[in-house]
Structure 1
């Protein structure tokens, strides 16, 4: 495999991550900081809890999101972007600006 093929595979994988329904919105919401599952769900009300749970597991597997368990009582679970996830969110920011300007 040559360098061009390798780059194409990486770009394709990135579009698979971002293009999967709800992933872009989840990343967008997490750009403002860590969120609990309930906060994520209330930020994207049309997303079912089952689907949110599935997407969070997938984003964790891709190392875009990390699940952080606090030592508080009761135990709190928060989700936050990894460095990889934050940089992906920064790459998506121009799309957000475009959407605000052009989508009615």
Structure 2
């Protein structure tokens, strides 16, 4: 094997998954894209606190792992759309389960009844 990918360098399957989709911003990006295709500006406005630079980096990482697709339309100004790839679509039920788990956690452990 020449140069192992980032994912292949990680220790276990769970670590691999978290290495690809974990972090402060990727979960929010993926949650947005689970709702449908979005343009860069839409994503930037939807995710509070993320800088353009960080959004660009996170989108590039997700694209590198084939979790999202990037479609550029040849027009001025450029139009770029992001969507879940076919492989990224397989994350939807996993992310839905994480969302349900989080709501349950907030309700049971923190006593929030407005967890969603």
TM-score, structure 1 as length reference = 0.81
Higher helix share: 1
Secondary structure of the residue that 2:35 maps to in structure 1? coil
User: Which structure has the larger Rg?
Assistant: 2
Report the aligned-residue RMSD: 1.8
Which residue in 2 is equivalent to 1:5? none
**Counterpart check, 1:43 vs 2:41:** no
Residues 86-101 of structure 1: pairs in structure 2 closer than 5 A: 86-101=89-104
Which residue in 2 is equivalent to 1:22? 25
The runs of 5 or more residues in structure 2 that have no matched partner are 1-10, 107-111
Residues 47-66 of structure 1: pairs in structure 2 closer than 5 A: 47-66=50-69
Which residue in 2 is equivalent to 1:76? 79
Structure possessing the higher relative contact order (Cα contacts under 8 Å, 6 or more residues apart): 1
**Counterpart check, 1:13 vs 2:35:** no
Q: How many residue pairs are counted as aligned between the two chains?
A: 97
